[in-house]
A and B are shown apart, each in its own frame.
Chain A
């Protein structure tokens, strides 16, 4: 009898969890393929027309392009300035190095976009970077560099120095050693932080929302928001197809990293 009650409770709980998490998501699965979507999740009258309409919508496509520019910019900055820094911080010991790294990580979790939106807004304004992509890119990179450096340093710490030493013994130059020994060894680390940075920038709403004023510069996150908040009847066919197209790259990237490296707990990432 007791086993039976436990069994029923277990099934009930699983069904509740499944419904709670699946129901709000159903719309994203059905509506993009529905010729007459409503706000309710319903079995679609199948069509791909929403997507062909989307592909002829200039502002929607431009916003995805803008998101790509921001992603490329931030990933570029993080890899170009962050990766060499983390290599050096892993290989060279100086007094207080670990404290310095922890302080950086602490600051990046304390100084969030929400808490610092006013000074960030003013800073980009004073630097002449308001309403420009470089402003958004540098602000986002500033927030993500500490954690990226921290993770990459972890990866580098676990790769033996002896590889580099042997390369030197055989007469490789510094640049050759970096290119042919160091980079291949820490490549998984570079992949992880690139994907992590890309996912965060692609989804980030607040920073571009505050720092970019021209609608033509809106990335997808901001355009999506204006689709359903600007007056008038929202165009559900457009919103549905756009939501899906905007979401799919994130799911693919996450799936890729998850399959390759699994869930790792890095002292609290995911901003």
Chain B
């Protein structure tokens, strides 16, 4: 009886509930879904970008290999340069300046405040983050409306925000939309600091600003880098400006995802759109790799 027990135990500590062959069978379906619907599309787009594949007509049925033509066309397209510039301003303005700075300020200013007001404010910030994007997009279209929007009613003016200041509008929108993540992450970072850090520096006579720059920011550097890379990646891949402005007026808010959508799915230039997608994937990969590197040097 004892012999049987140890025998079973030995067997289970070696192979557990499943054998290796069984393990492969169990992992296979998940691996297949990921391989076909995640990995393959990325590799395929590298190839499609070298063809003149179209949505309709002869280039749909019988696409030709055109080498790097899509890339040379893209580089001489002013609309692409405009889109890259818009994307850069959108990401740096709404993710890095907007979300990260506002998120950190919220976490820092409210860190010792125990009150229902703080909890209510934080709840508001989080709700703005989780409401579905097509709903928040409409809320902002209504809020910024020139004739009857709430913002103009408060300010007593009739500015058509989405026509006069389109890029600024989507930057403020995306700051509103995404600050919660930075606030929560920096809140966790500040909580992880030992209280003695601040105690010592306060006793040494440091002002709150000195504490912030000399002690707090350097000790949560890892969190800051993590946060900046993640929110840049997400904002770079964010399609929601489309829901507010459709990329307009006249390309003023045409971030890269909207440019790809317009070129490939609206105008049917699938090969050309694939080339731009490939560029976007490479940029994503660079951001993600620097995230991993930052993570490794931290640990």
Question: Which A residues are closer than 8 A to B by beta carbons?
Answer: 10, 13-14, 17-18, 20-28, 38-41, 77, 80-82, 84-85, 87-89, 91-92, 94, 102, 104, 106-123, 138-139, 141-143, 145-146, 149, 161, 164-165, 168-169, 174, 177-178, 182, 199, 202-203, 205-206, 210, 220-222, 224-225, 227-229, 239, 243, 246-247, 250-251, 254, 263, 265, 268, 270-271
Contact = CB atoms under 8 A, between A and B. Distances in A.
A89 B106 CA distance: 39
Contact of A206 (B26, B45, B239): B239
A39 B149 contact: yes
B260 A114 contact: yes
A186 B267 CA distance: 48
B71 interface: no
Interface residues of B, number: 95
Contacts of B12: 164-165, 168
B288 A109 contact: yes
B202 interface: no
B88 interface: no
Contacts of B225: none
Given A116-B281, A120-B41, A177-B17, A104 B142 contact: no
A21 B38 contact: no
Interface of B: 5, 8-9, 12-13, 15-18, 20, 23, 26-27, 29-31, 33-34, 36-42, 44-45, 48, 53, 105-106, 109, 117, 120-121, 124-128, 130-143, 145, 147-151, 153-154, 176, 181, 184-185, 188, 226, 230, 233-234, 237-240, 243, 246, 256-257, 260-261, 264-265, 270, 273-274, 277, 280-281, 284-285, 288-289, 291-292
Contacts of B292: 102, 106
A223 B13 CA distance: 53
- Shortest 3 CB-CB contacts between residues of A and residues of B: A142-B37, A119-B41, A114-B257
